[in-house]
Structure 1
Amino acid sequence: MAGTRTESFNSTSGMMESENVGNSSGGGGGEMKVAEWIEHTTIHPREVDDKVSFCKLFKDNFIYVMTYCCSFGSFGVCVGFLGPTVFDLGCQTSSDQKQMNWVFFVQLIMTLVGSISAGCLAQSVPTTESDQPSSLPNHLMMLGSGIGVSLAMFVIPACNSLGTLLFVLMIMGWCMGCLDCLANLRMILLFGKHVSPFLQAMHCFYGLGAFVSPMIASAFLLNKDCSPFIDGFTIETPVELHKPTTEGSSSSTDNTSHVTLHIAPQPQRVFRYRHMSRVPMAFYILGALQLSIALLVAYVVFLEKFRGLKPKGLTFETHEFHHPHVSPPSKKFSVDDIKGRLRDFIGSFGPRETILVTSFTCGSLFLFDGLQSSFANYIYTYAHDSHLEGLQKYEGAVLDACFWGLFALGRLIAVPVASRLSAAFMLMVNITGCSIALLLTLIFRWSHVMIYLGTCGVGIFVSSMSPTVMSMCEQYIDINHTITTCLVVVAALGEALCPIIVGNLVVNVGPTSFLAFCLSFSLISIILYWVLLLYGRQTPKYKASKPDSFIWLSGKQLVLEGESTLIKPNSVKYYSRMEDSDSNPDLANGANHSRTFSIEEK
């Protein structure tokens, strides 16, 4: 062609702008230009061998990874300390065990509230000059939450009543929910589709925190149940009644009856047990540990604010607008317009496949975290109340330590495994192994050895279920702030509600119902897994990636031909890929698509 033609599509006005410089060749030449423009801008995916170096990603972003992992470990410390210390806290607050059950519920419910509020606040984070969400406000929220949980640890020994203890745990639970939501969100946004091993590592720190916390506390526990001395108790003593002999009888008959004695409450014994306990020292140690993690977050905030710290070696994408088939949701809404808010919230999810994949993932997380929380909280009760031959009451603490120890080990093993195996295959192995372990434990529940083997099996297989299903979800859709909030909130909901259901079953039906409940959750999760897998494979993002193997991670990445030479990522905010079509390419009629690009043809 004799001249240069510059064509650009303006997403603001919705019209195609054309500018001819030099000579043009008439109408026929214009049609040829249109055909060439469509051919030149059509995206042809090709695959190249470009193995992702997870070690390099870790080295380049070491400070971020360790900060998020330690923050999530702080969340695990808060989850693990309450169970072993519940007896000592009951003596400290003069509360029986029925009243102390509220501390678990309040902490978990406030964790749910904290997750929701953190997700809403994270969604309103301002963007930087490069149109990327700033991480500094999220890190400031993490810093405040870390300081909050450490201060709560220091204040708990001063709580002399159940009301003050519940208030402190409410604050701690809210901070825990913020740490849970923000750590998951920042890690996913940091690594995107390569997040799987890093997410496993972060959840491994959760297991370590939940394992270390009771180990530290156990050295200072009195472990004495003060409930009988708070409420009083009754005892039955046998009394022998001698029936006098009658005439003609050669012997007397002895009858035994039981006399019930009521023992009044003994506050002096509760006072003595309270001062015998050294549990405040455990809380001071845990509080100092939490404060050190908060200082690490403060260091990251300092580096970002004054030293310009930024992630390295990554091409950031605003996941909220990355989906190629959805227009960006409007950020302008009226405070009084409730319908507008609902439209913005629903629009932030994306199209129908995104909503369905998110729903299936939420259901899976509800089952996984509910199973994990129920088993961790009631394996001690099962060992205490099952009256299994050869199983001592103190072994409940040993079983609890076995579960959390293998839980941490399982997440540690999952870190290198996640860089080699696909998330779908890992999740299938985890669910199958957990179901088999629970089934064998239920069948051979009279076996002392099988209880230990089943507990270890459940701990190691359930450990990486939650991070793996989140990685699996990331392969099917792009996870944004709203989706992350929903995932974390539903997981926290399962973690809060399922132990309450199990507790009622254990009281009304018996301790064996605890194993039956966990097995039913595991079997339901198998069905939900296959639904998520089959539907997720139909999503556009999965079809574009085309993995080579169901088991192994592919070393190939998708490269879009013609896109990198025409579109500069720094200058593009949103764009949609043009789909192949045999229809008449009327450029003016394509104004409803959100594209911002410019093409030069000679």
Structure 2
Amino acid sequence: MTRLTVYQNCNILPKVVDERIRALFRSNWQHTLTYWSVFFSFGLCIAFLGPTILDLRCQTRSTLQGITLVFFSQQFCLFVGSTVGGFFSKSLGRRNFPEAVLKGRSKESDKPNVFAFIPACVNLPMLAVAMATAGLAMGVIDTISNLQLVKIYQKDSTVFLQALHFFVGLGALVSPLIADPFLSETDCVLGNATINSSSTVRHLRNKLSGRHIHNVSNIHFHTEGQVLTNVSYAFWIMALINLPVPIAVFVLIYWERMLSCRCEHNPHLLEGSIHMYGLKEERSSEQQEVISPEHTDSRGYLKLLNCCPLSKLKELPLSFFGVHILGGLVLFFSDGIVGSYTGFVYTYAVSPPINMSHKTAGYLSSVFWTSITVGRLASIVLSYRVKPVLLLTINQVGVMVTLFVLLLCYTSSVFLFVGTGLLGLFISSVYPCMLALTEDILDYKGCATTVLVTCAGMGEMLLQLLVGSVIHSYGSYSFLLCGLVFGCMGFTLFFMLLVIDHIHRHYMAAAPRTISEADVARH
């Protein structure tokens, strides 16, 4: 059965999508479905550590302060993996680019292996190494999946990026449901007479599920005694659930290697990888023979992530760098809001003046992720009808206004739930829309995606630490104030990006003919 026959028997695109996009999907459905499944696995993995952290503490017989270091090791390596993934996919030449992508995809096989290995981690260093390995693999996958969908669909990538990030939210929703039946209700190291209340353990688990690693130094657990925990079953189930994903990746690798001519005839995987800046118009066959990939390599056009030719740095407009910087900063604050909100909304809710019960406050994080998932699902349809710049404008204004109203109604527990849902809806599609917008501005070279994914990971990691320190120093009220400041800064940077976009498009409208003639003459 051919791949086209498989697609025709399972056409998942709705009829409202026009035939051009359906044809694009039909040509690339194997890659697209694989990336979507990879990101569902990504969501499962990223949300699984928080709920299980107390049981893992028992398993490794470590202190609470020690086990929270696992959060840092995973998050830091995820950031490193995002950066490495960009360099990994862009540092090779045109002839080796498909092989780089395939090697990056094969990183997906690390995750089921890691989940199966975690129950065997009997001490903290082994667990930290395992989670760091998973974080590194997830970071590489994050960059390459976004990068490849942008390259495949280009101007139509918004719809498919929205679907990609929808699967992250879906995985993050499903993950705690898998873990919950196997979590200990009380301290799982017997002999601990200090903390044995199920409500206390639930309260602490809710804090740590949001990766809240601050202000836990005053809580002490025993590390010696009989360990009673069933969390190993949860990790084995996760390993089994994740197992089909690397199988799908290896099937795709098998197809790529069996079709040796595919690399030459699939322009979606290759186009934009070695385009010279400003050379967007079509060339004749004679010109394309003159400007060969090998010749391009020798002239240094594949340097600096294949986007900024070293020999032409002085000719690049400042707007080129401005788009990268501003786009990255917008996602720095956007993902920073997501990370800090999920990390500290529970702590804010159970603190004065709201003083919400522990059980009720525990639902806030679920409400937030549910609204993000629903928002991304709705954005799949909206992005087909609405341009990314308009969606981003609505989202940025909505995030800022919601955080402002939350700050005004800081004593209302009801509006905290309503505002949490609205914030999730507005912020849900910022990430994929920003990727699509910046790549559209820069002619889909793929380098903007690498910069943006890296900045987003950095923002989620650093701003969460910053907010935690501010809350620890000034109280829980500063939580919403920090969010509003981040939202205003994100909106301001987005407005600046629109201005730079206008300047850059005017430059590109005037520059291509002159640059193209000069480059062709030089070659």
TM-score (norm 2): 0.80
Offset of 1:100 from its aligned partner? 2.8
Distance 1:349 1:94 in 2: 59
Q: Offset at 1:138?
A: 0.7
Paired position in structure 1 for 2:34: 67
Q: Is the 8 A contact 1:437 1:454 kept in 2?
A: yes
Alpha-carbon separation, structure 1, partners of 2:219 and 2:500:
63
Q: Tell me the residue number matched to 1:416.
A: 381
Shift of 1:62: 1.4
Shift, 1:312, TM fit: 6.9
Q: Hey, what's the Cα distance between the residues in 2 that align with 1:438 and 1:162?
A: 38
Q: Separation in 1 of the partners of 2:65 and 2:140?
A: 29
Partner residue in 1 for 2:437: 472
1:549-597: CA deviation from partner (whole Å, max 9, x where unpaired) = xxxxxxxxxxxxxxxxxxxxxxxxxxx94349xxxxxxxxx98423599
Aligned 8 A contact 1:320 1:478 in 2: no
Residue 494 of structure 2: aligned partner: 529
Aligned match of 2:6: none
Distance (whole Å) between structure 2 residues aligned to residue 348 and residue 395 of structure 1: 58
**Percent identity of paired positions between Structure 1 and Structure 2:** 27
2:387 counterpart letter in structure 1: S
Q: How big is the shift at 1:524? A: 0.8
Alignment of 1:76 onto 2:43: yes
Do the aligned partners of 1:320 and 1:348 also contact (CA within 8 Å) in 2? no
The aligned counterpart of 2:104 is 141
Q: Who is 1:516 aligned against?
A: 481
User: In the alignment, which of 222, 232, 249 is matched to residue 184 of structure 2?
Assistant: 222
Q: Deviations over 1:224-249 (max 9, x none)?
A: 4679987968xxxxxxxxxxxxxxxx
Aligned counterpart for 1:593 among listed residues 512, 515, 519? 519
Task: Classify 1:383/1:522 alpha carbon distance in 2 versus 1 (closer, same or farther; 3 Å).
Answer: same
1:483-524 deviation line (CA, Å, top 9, x unaligned): 332222111111111111111122222122222111110111
Report the secondary structure of 2:62's partner residue.
Answer: coil
**RCO (CA 8 Å, sep 6+): is it higher in 1 or 2?**
1
CA distance in 2, matches of 1:541, 1:317: 24
CA distance in 2, matches of 1:213, 1:225: 22
The answer to which of 289-298 and 314-323 deviates more is 314-323
For 2:158, the equivalent position in structure 1 comes to 196
Q: What amino acid maps onto 1:532 in structure 2? A: L
1:318 to 2:285 alignment: no
Match of residue 323 from structure 2: 357
Q: d(CA) in 2 for partners of 1:360 and 1:207?
A: 25
Q: 1:432 to 1:577 in 2, by over 3 A?
A: closer
The match for 1:299 is 251
Give CA deviations for 1:418-459 in whole Å, capped at 9, x if unaligned: 111011110111111122222222222221211111111111
Cα distance in structure 2, aligned partners of 1:354 and 1:323? 10
* 1:99 aligned onto 2:56: no
Q: Which residue of structure 1 aligns with residue 133 of structure 2?
A: 171
Counterpart CA distance in 1 for 2:258 and 2:133 is 31
Seen in structure 2, the aligned counterparts of structure 1 residues 186 and 363 have a Cα distance that, compared at 3 Å, is same
Q: Partner of 1:366 in structure 2? A: 332
Letter matched to residue 272 of structure 2:
T
* Paired letter, 1:295: I
Q: Deviations over 1:246-302 (max 9, x none)?
A: xxxxxxxxxxxxxxxx9997555xx44x41x32211111112222211111111111
Q: Match of 2:168?
A: 206
8 A Cα contact 1:94 1:230, kept in partner: no
| Structure 2 equivalent of residue 158 of structure 1 | 120
User: Is residue 114–residue 178 contact of structure 1 (8 Å, CA) maintained in 2?
Assistant: yes
User: Is the alpha carbon distance of 1:596 and 1:54 closer, same or farther for their aligned partners in structure 2, counting shifts above 3 Å?
Assistant: farther
Counterpart of 2:286 in structure 1 is: none
1:578 to 503, 513, 523: 513
Alignment match, 1:397: 362
CA–CA distance in structure 1, aligned partners of residues 402 and 171 of structure 2: 24
More strand as a share of residues:
1
What secondary structure sits across from 1:478 in the alignment?
A: coil
Query: How far does residue 74 in structure 1 lie from its aligned partner after superposition?
Result: 2.0
Aligned to 2:214: none
Aligned partner of residue 195 in structure 1, secondary structure: helix
Extract unaligned runs of 5+ from structure 2: 1-17, 196-217, 281-290
User: What letter corresponds to residue 370 of structure 1 in structure 2?
Assistant: G
3-state SS, counterpart of residue 68 of structure 2: helix
Tell me by how many angstroms 1:307 deviates: 4.2
Higher helix residue share? 2
For residues 516-536 of structure 1, the C-alpha deviation after alignment (integer angstroms, 9 at most, x for no partner) is 111110111111111001110
Q: Secondary structure at the match of 2:480?
A: helix
Label 1:99 to 1:509 Cα distance change in 2 as closer, same or farther (>3 A): farther
Compute the displacement of 1:330 (Å): 6.0
Deviation at 1:184, TM superposition (A): 0.9
> How large is the RMSD of aligned CA atoms in angstroms?
3.6
Q: CA deviation at 1:126?
A: 3.9
- Counterpart amino acid of residue 381 in structure 2: P
Amino acid at match of 1:219: P
Q: Please give the alpha-carbon distance, in whole angstroms, between the structure 1 residues aligned to 2:190 and 2:499.
A: 55
1:140 Cα deviation from its structure 2 partner: 2.6
Counterpart residue identity of residue 79, structure 1: I
Partners of 1:153 and 1:286 within 8 A in 2 = yes
Deviates more, 1:460-469 or 1:395-404: 395-404
User: Structure 1: which amino acid aligns with 2:101?
Assistant: N
Aligned length: 467
Letter in 2 for 1:158: A
Change (3 A) 1:95 1:380: farther
Kept in 2, the 8 Å contact 1:410–1:463? The answer is yes
Q: Which of 66, 86, 94 is matched with 1:127 structurally?
A: 94
Instruction: Indicate the SS of the match to 2:483.
Output: helix
| Separation in structure 1 between the aligned mates of residue 331 and residue 478 of structure 2, nearest angstrom | 22
Shift of 1:360: 0.6
Distance, in Å, in 2 between the alignment partners of 1:363 and 1:444 is 29
Cα displacement string for residues 82-140 of structure 1 (whole angstroms, at most 9, x for unaligned residues): 22222222222233333333222211111111122222221133424xxxx64343123
